[in-house]
Amino acid sequence: MRLDSQRFSTTTPPSNRASTVKPVCSLAVRVTVLPSFLRVALLIAALIQSPELLLAATEDKLHQSYRAAAMPETESLILELRSHGLPAVVSGAGPSILVLCSDPAQRLVAAELIAARSGSPWQSLLLAVDFKGATVTVLRVENSA
pTM of the model: 0.66
Q: In whole angstroms, give the CA distance from residue 40 to residue 57.
A: 7
Please determine, for residue 26, whether its predicted confidence score (pLDDT) is greater than 80.
no
In a 13 Å sphere around the CA of 90, the CA atoms on its Cβ side amount to 20
Q: Reduced to 3 states, what is the DSSP secondary structure of residue 90?
A: strand
* Domain range list for the chain: 1-61, 63-145
Candidate from 25-29, 38-42, 131-135 with smallest mean pLDDT: 25-29
Closest CA to 109 of 124, 127, 94: 124
